Amino acid sequence: MSWEPLDLSGRCALVTGATGALGEAAARALVARGARVTLAAGSSGPLEELGAELRDGGADVELVARRPDSEEDTDAMVAAAVRAHGRLDLLVTAAGTNRVHAIEEFPVDDWETVMDANVRGSWLACRSAGRQMIEQGEGGRAVLVSSTRGRLGHPAGYSAYCPSKAAIDGLTKTLACEWGRHGITVNAIAPTVFRSALTAWMYEEEGRGREVREAMLARIPLGRLGEPDDMVGPLVFLLSEEARFVTGQILYVDGGYTAG
């Protein structure tokens, strides 16, 4: 069966956390579908490498070596996108982090780091990008990154991560309501565990990774953990014109993990 990929030709996108597993997959998917992209990340070396590779393939790419840590940072990202491409149509907030401790031993600084990276950074990126989209007056698309852990708890030290992703769900729904009159849709993708630098240990064949993976697989009807490319189809759909009547939704990309 043949199919055509969803087309994003001429659309101008900003991706935060562009050197992470999901951010890089998003960047490559957007470029492959014709978008002009601005990639933001705090790691300038990997960002330059990714940008050079995409440009060598003919992509129109702007780079911003910043994390969404402050209003100044996110305003600079949006300004760079507009300077490079004339406008901003699409936003993907893929920046984030995790710290794992039992709550009775959880350093407050670590808890704040997770909340700042996952919630405050997403809020700031939406705020800066939303202002630009509203000023343009032609609508737009925003896709945030949640998690199955925004819906489900976790027994192993996730008292920062789970609340942070539940907050992303709330932010997604709130902005969908707030921005509907501007023609801006806001949705989130919510993966279960997918392969990244942070989760590589769960994919190993020996040691604790295998034990934890087997326990996870018992809950996943499709029988495997995720890969970054598994997020691409849902993400591109939510950014595309085909999703013009979809907003305020949390799309679980989890192999059925939350179905049981």
Nearest to residue 139, comparing CAs of 90, 101, 92, 203?
A: 90
Q: Where are the domains of the chain?
A: 12-191+228-252, 200-225
- Give the three-state DSSP class for 14: strand
- The pLDDT of residue 3 is above 60: no
pLDDT mean over 182-191: 97
pLDDT interval class at 4 (50, 70, 90): low
pLDDT interval class at 1 (50, 70, 90): very low
- The pLDDT of residue 94 is above 50: yes
- Scan for tokens 């565990």, then name that residue: 193
Between residues 198 and 164, the one the model is more confident about: 164
pLDDT, tens digit (0-9, with 9 covering 90-100), for 207-237: 777 887 888 888 899 998 888 899 999 999 9
- The pLDDT of residue 74 is above 70: yes
pLDDT mean over 187-213: 81
Q: Is 161 a catalytic residue?
A: yes
Alpha carbon dihedral 24, 29, 35, 41, in 10-degree steps, equals -10
pLDDT mean over 237-246: 97
- Catalytic, out of 158, 161, 252, 257: 161
pLDDT mean over 38-61: 97
pLDDT, tens digit (0-9, with 9 covering 90-100), for 10-43: 999 999 999 999 999 999 999 999 999 999 999 9
Round the average pLDDT of the chain to a whole number and report it: 93
pLDDT interval class at 157 (50, 70, 90): confident
- The pLDDT of residue 108 is above 70: yes
Between residues 1 and 194, the one the model is more confident about: 194
- The pLDDT of residue 5 is above 70: no
pLDDT interval class at 257 (50, 70, 90): very high
C-alpha to C-alpha distance for 238 and 232, rounded to whole angstroms: 10
pLDDT mean over 162-186: 98
Range 130-169 burial, b when 16+ CB lie within 10 A, else e: bebbbeeeeebbbbbbbbbbbbbeeeebbbbbbbbbbbbb
Q: Which fold does the domain 12-191+228-252 belong to in CATH?
A: Rossmann fold (3.40.50)
